[in-house]
Structure 1
């Protein structure tokens, strides 16, 4: 016997031993021993389909008449079986049990399975699964991963559609635009997962894989029928859509034609394998190029937003401008915070920059004010009255022409002569400056006595 055959026989022996041990432990330790035994025997290591009686025992445990705790335990048992195995036969047969339960048991099982996946790690997360025991096992493992992705997408599609497209007639022909676009996208993604399950290599001739493939072929046809009904509804609404929705609708319509060709090839492969021969499938032809061109032209000219959205945009722009006006006219805003600023009071903020040049001139003219050279004559006369005791200022009319020096008040006569003498050039500005200068000297002398 060759080494490959020896290893295969050894693997089968070890697998049978594991199944027997698991069943024995379930009989002793499990509170749900009958259910655990049915799960082990329906998903054993034997590389052929499970017996129907074991599968029916599992379905009886997850029916709507059973307590929800029993259903949750059954899901947990199946998830534990998937997470611990590295054998392609055990993983594939477990997925077949779950797939058949989704098709044959009431929808409450799907809801429980979705809730279980939300609270814990997802049951169908087999992205890293592999069985490297043989070259054929590599091909089987690749198909098992694709099959798990389809079942995971099937649950997501059920969550979006709120019904099972396999067991109920499609509802896409009567939907409004938002729901129609959402459901068509979910259905196309599900059909994409179906097409991804086309077997390759050794997986083409495996009998257990062919059993799962027959269920996939029938579901693919029903999924596409739902897409076709929705596409007809989409075309009726297309030329009334806004540009954003029309772009999505055009992508969906083009994708539907591409998936029709791939699904035709997929079904032909299944028929060649004696799978799905009794299924009715009509090959969908591509729409004429003129129609697609008309759709593309409408997308370019479609309205970008509704009138309601335009009004909202205008309000948003006004909200952006208001803070700028608030900074320019803060006083008006404080008085009337709820009313918009009128257009006429906008010139009022113009006098605000005027105090700034005044402050600059005042700061520049402060040093000359110490000497009083730039003050007007009335300011000098006021200062003379305050300092009358310091300087004896005699009016010009009362003084004689040859007035001598007056030493009684400490001032010289030449100082008074400077004050009373007329200017040679007749300039009033120079005379006022001399008067102020004389006053400054008198104050200086008093301070130093």
Structure 2
């Protein structure tokens, strides 16, 4: 901890810097003075009074936004004190969340000019009284902010309404809920969300930093954002699983990788939350109940991908696939035609009038956020199909659906094939559990 002499020296530095800022003409003096007061050397959190004053200034004039980024950049670049550096980073995070959306781009501009605002891999507190744990926390906090900035600038970060925006009726921002996104868009974004959640988990404090009040309050801001990240990732996984059998093979593979990643990441998130709750970060009731991805689900999706990979695909007309015609007994062949080839091009988008089949196997240990199982559509009851005799497993689809198949809807053949694969994989899981 800082000695009395160290505290005194820090206080003198703060007063000197504030005095010089008041007479400076290089930047708006009021912006610089507020930032210097908010990031003093004393080991107390950023005062909300200074934060609110700063938010009002930068919302009133774009010149103040530029000045704010420049002053914070200079403040971080010159300090060798972990308290000043951490307070400056917290200030950046709060402005990211509640401030002008132009501010993140000014941070990027400052970094392009050579300021090491979020690149603090070489930062080190030079006071012998402060352990390495504080330096490490500052570095990981900056890494999180850098990843968060990248997500925002690439349009992959789900921004929430601030308290001020809620008071104004939510005007000024348009949010697209995860549940309204198409699977292709989710696949594009989920890897970025998972990477950002990794950075959040990486900020876990160690050693003496765990019990430091300033560290705990700073960490709480990241923990709160991780709640939203976890919810977005969970909802995205639910939607991807619901559409898993309708995706192109490459999209299926990406969705599978996201599930594999989530399987490990959610375990790490549970451990991270357990640590945070043990040291008093927030209230226990605030934390979501993190569900775990089961090994059975991963294995089932893996087997389905293996089976899909065994079929040649016409990549020039994705998602068209080449599949062999379904086997039909010699004594019953209502769908046969001497003019039909051995294999046909068939499409995987499915008739909108077909009913939905929900797999009911319990694949997650809990389900507080999202449905666990993928679904696929068809107009043949899979359980009826499974109960058919071995002599004629497709009898149920050769009667009433005969005309439908011959009327230009070959999708049923793919659906039947997918049903067979899924039921086969389910039987494997059941057999493992019965063993």
Please give the range of the TM-score, normalised by the shorter of the 2 chains: 0.5 to 0.7
Q: Which residue pairs with 1:437 in the alignment?
A: none
In the alignment, structure 1 residue 90 sits paired with structure 2 residue 116: no
1:291: Cα distance to partner?
2.5
Q: Which residue pairs with 1:15 in the alignment?
A: 10
More helix by share: 1
The alpha-carbon distance between structure 1 residues 119 and 279, as it changes in their structure 2 partners (threshold 3 A), is farther
**Quick check: 1:214–1:275 contact (8 Å CA) kept in 2?**
yes
Q: 2:139 aligns with which of 129, 142, 145?
A: 145
The alpha-carbon distance between structure 1 residues 204 and 23, as it changes in their structure 2 partners (threshold 3 A), is same
The alpha-carbon distance between structure 1 residues 35 and 284, as it changes in their structure 2 partners (threshold 3 A), is closer
1:177: Cα distance to partner?
3.5
Query: Take 1:105 and 1:209, find their aligned partners in 2: how far apart are those partners?
Result: 22
In the alignment, structure 1 residue 293 sits paired with structure 2 residue 291: no
Q: Which residue pairs with 1:307 in the alignment?
A: 314
1:174: Cα distance to partner?
3.0
Query: Take 2:180 and 2:158, find their aligned partners in 1: how far apart are those partners?
Result: 17
Q: Which residue pairs with 2:118 in the alignment?
A: 124
Q: Which residue pairs with 1:46 in the alignment?
A: 42
Q: Which residue pairs with 1:420 in the alignment?
A: none
The 3-state SS of whatever aligns with 1:283 is: coil
Unaligned runs of 5+ in 2: 162-173, 319-435
The alpha-carbon distance between structure 1 residues 281 and 18, as it changes in their structure 2 partners (threshold 3 A), is closer
Q: Which residue pairs with 2:32 in the alignment?
A: 36
The alpha-carbon distance between structure 1 residues 290 and 39, as it changes in their structure 2 partners (threshold 3 A), is closer
**Quick check: 1:19–1:44 contact (8 Å CA) kept in 2?**
yes
Q: How is 1:25-424 mapped onto 2 (pairs within 5 angstroms)?
A: 25-30=20-25, 31-63=27-59, 65-66=60-61, 68-118=62-112, 120-121=114-115, 123-134=117-128, 136-161=130-155, 163-167=157-161, 171-277=177-283, 279-302=285-308, 307-309=314-316
Query: Take 2:9 and 2:233, find their aligned partners in 1: how far apart are those partners?
Result: 47
Query: Take 1:143 and 1:80, find their aligned partners in 2: how far apart are those partners?
Result: 20
1:306: Cα distance to partner?
5.4
Query: Take 2:295 and 2:45, find their aligned partners in 1: how far apart are those partners?
Result: 47
Query: Take 1:169 and 1:221, find their aligned partners in 2: how far apart are those partners?
Result: 17
The alpha-carbon distance between structure 1 residues 266 and 124, as it changes in their structure 2 partners (threshold 3 A), is same
Larger Rg, first or second structure (1 or 2): 1
Q: Deviations over 1:86-139 (max 9, x none)?
A: 000100110111111112224333344345445654521111101141353411
Unaligned runs of 5+ in 1: 312-449
> TM-score by structure 2 length?
0.64
1:21: Cα distance to partner?
1.4
Q: Which residue pairs with 1:349 in the alignment?
A: none
The alpha-carbon distance between structure 1 residues 281 and 49, as it changes in their structure 2 partners (threshold 3 A), is closer
The 3-state SS of whatever aligns with 1:251 is: helix
The 3-state SS of whatever aligns with 2:286 is: coil
**Quick check: 1:136–1:202 contact (8 Å CA) kept in 2?**
no
> TM-score by structure 1 length?
0.62
1:40: Cα distance to partner?
0.9
Query: Take 2:305 and 2:113, find their aligned partners in 1: how far apart are those partners?
Result: 43
**Quick check: 2:66–2:103 contact (8 Å CA) kept in 1?**
no
RMSD: 2.5
Q: What is the number of residues matched between the two proteins?
A: 304
1:302: Cα distance to partner?
2.6
The 3-state SS of whatever aligns with 2:243 is: helix
